[in-house]
Chain A
């Protein structure tokens, strides 16, 4: 898929801007805080999944009540005019070819993007929540029909926690409904875990390949870490995702919560389930040292960055295969963080990855990207500076 042009109105620091994008690599240059990342963020919003880094309220220019995005997206032989109105607190409205969608998140079935910026380092370095979100968003990108799953899970969890917290301490007869919430928890939790396992299994081969290429040898290992799923089950699932059966997972979660019922009542909250699961990332200690080490604690910042980048490029590969189309690649200030060898490698790699938007404050850092089109951003205005053929 490709974005032919995008118009921003009252989006972040843009009062009004119209940007034509080329096929292939588009380089966004400009000094810091001029709006480079905001432009990438706007293109990401076209996928209906919001900003990769902020809440909707942050997307609206100061003094305005809403932000508008208009874009022309080419997907196969379809030309889709996308209109979005981001209204913090009141949701986002979206139209495709002037037809209103039931919800803006339905856009994720039409435009898909992969964003990688400096904060994505937390994918490897940060808390489990970021890794869970990475998997859950990938689930939606691959299977838009599962969009509600994560929210449904959060709602069930919140309701059950509320019941565990209040029921034992009040005279209410609500406690018998705990069985009902247990059933919801197990059903929705199992569906969520099954979806994550399937996605992680599908991602795995691409991650191996990308990491090996970017690190110049070495191995990355990904595992699903869960206190309630049998380890044999997760290992088998990652080897062959067809073995993942949600009813089996629901059974494991039920056994788990039955065992700790008393403790959950005492603590007044749900203590096991997908909300506590994690993905572990391990890297080979050295090219000649086969020992695998946990990347979160033992890897250097540089290795953490390359493994996070490998995961994101693998996401792009997986989406390309499954969607039968290349998702948009959004690289925010990535080149400047890499050494010259990896810059060269990444520059070569993205040339075969479809349309890409690459931002940089350091023009020298992105020479390797050999852009089709250079867009200069200053003070919330974007100008196509020069274009050349790579």
Chain B
């Protein structure tokens, strides 16, 4: 145990995801060493993020106004919605510069172990967007399910497929392929094998 304020900082930090008591201590002692200006800048950043950043009312991406940058952008193709689990997934897809449609962030995936069912995700809101496109948007034709390629992501994708396909929408799933920069020569037989197993036809 440390003196009051220091212990409080350690306790607060160890509540953060991925930070155990040891790392919390390390970060706390680092903060102790930085200048007052740096410390203020850090606290301001935290406060500002809470004050100014919120979730987009339409797609639940992070936003600084009612709508996020993608929902605001009238040049995006509103007939396609790409469904992801978390906002950072959008950044990964945007980096490819291959996608020009809209997004929908579920804020998680179906996981009974963690007590997360369909009602805990933004699925109702997705259905509402499909049934009643926002003003200026075209009706949705395709939903690309880009949930994570793991057990929970797959289950969520299957659930969405069962829900959306009967509505006459085209529901597609991202093929899980090789990570970019993956080392093909050595031992990535595992990943390569998985990519081969999950291969899909390029043209319908």
A97 at the interface (CB under 8 A from B): yes
- Chain B residues within an 8 Å CB radius of A347: none
A326 at the interface (CB under 8 A from B): no
Which single residue of chain B is at the shortest CB-CB distance from A176?
B118
Which single residue of chain B is at the shortest CB-CB distance from A103?
B190
- Chain A residues within an 8 Å CB radius of B196: 145
- Chain A residues within an 8 Å CB radius of B189: 106, 109, 144-145
Looking at chain B's contact residues, the main secondary structure is: helix
Total residues of chain A contacting the partner, CB 8 A: 38
**Residue interface bits B169-204, CB-to-A below 8 A is 1, else 0:** 000000000010011011111111110110000000
A148 at the interface (CB under 8 A from B): yes
B113 at the interface (CB under 8 A from A): yes
- Chain B residues within an 8 Å CB radius of A148: 190, 194
Check if A172 sits within 8 Å of B119, measured CB to CB: yes
Looking at chain A's contact residues, the main secondary structure is: helix
Q: Which of A52-60, A157-165, A289-297, A369-377 contacts B (4 or more CB under 8 A)?
A: A157-165
**Alpha-carbon separation in the docked complex, A160 to B111 (Å):** 9
B42 at the interface (CB under 8 A from A): no
Check if B190 sits within 8 Å of A105, measured CB to CB: yes
A152 at the interface (CB under 8 A from B): yes
B99 at the interface (CB under 8 A from A): no
Check if A159 sits within 8 Å of B118, measured CB to CB: no
List CB contacts (< 8 Å) of A153-176 with chain B.
155-156, 158-160, 162-163, 166-167, 172-174, 176
Check if B151 sits within 8 Å of A184, measured CB to CB: yes
**Residue interface bits B129-152, CB-to-A below 8 A is 1, else 0:** 000000000000000000000111
List CB contacts (< 8 Å) of B102-161 with chain A.
110-113, 115, 117-119, 150-152, 154-155, 158-159
**Residue interface bits A92-110, CB-to-B below 8 A is 1, else 0:** 0000110111110111011
B162 at the interface (CB under 8 A from A): yes
**Alpha-carbon separation in the docked complex, A148 to B154 (Å):** 14
Among B115, B179, B186, B189, max chain A CB count under 10 A is at B186
**Alpha-carbon separation in the docked complex, A54 to B151 (Å):** 27
A183 at the interface (CB under 8 A from B): yes
**Alpha-carbon separation in the docked complex, A184 to B150 (Å):** 11
Q: What's the nearest-Cβ distance from chain B to residue A58, in Å?
A: 21
**Alpha-carbon separation in the docked complex, A30 to B173 (Å):** 58
Option from B115, B117, B152, B188 in Cβ contact (under 8 Å) with A173: B117
Known: A159-B112, A159-B152, A180-B162. A96 touches B118 (CB 8 A): no
Check if A102 sits within 8 Å of B190, measured CB to CB: yes
Q: What's the nearest-Cβ distance from chain A to residue B99, in Å?
A: 25
Check if A145 sits within 8 Å of B115, measured CB to CB: no
**Alpha-carbon separation in the docked complex, A159 to B109 (Å):** 12
Known: A145-B192, A145-B193, A174-B117. A96 touches B186 (CB 8 A): yes
10 new A-B contacts, CB < 8 A, other than A145-B196, A159-B152, are A101-B183, A106-B190, A109-B189, A146-B193, A166-B112, A173-B117, A174-B119, A180-B155, A184-B155, A184-B158
Question: Can you pick out 20 interface pairs between chain A and chain B where the beta carbons lie within 8 Å of each other?
Answer: A97-B186, A101-B187, A102-B190, A102-B191, A106-B189, A106-B190, A109-B189, A144-B189, A145-B197, A147-B190, A155-B150, A159-B151, A160-B112, A163-B112, A172-B119, A173-B118, A174-B119, A176-B118, A180-B110, A184-B155
- Where the two chains meet, the residues of A that have a C-beta atom closer than 8 Å to any C-beta of B are 96-97, 99-103, 105-107, 109-110, 143-148, 152, 155-156, 158-160, 162-163, 166-167, 172-174, 176-177, 179-181, 183-184
- Where the two chains meet, the residues of B that have a C-beta atom closer than 8 Å to any C-beta of A are 110-113, 115, 117-119, 150-152, 154-155, 158-159, 162, 179, 182-183, 185-194, 196-197
Closest 4 CB pairs of A and B: A145-B193, A174-B117, A163-B112, A162-B112
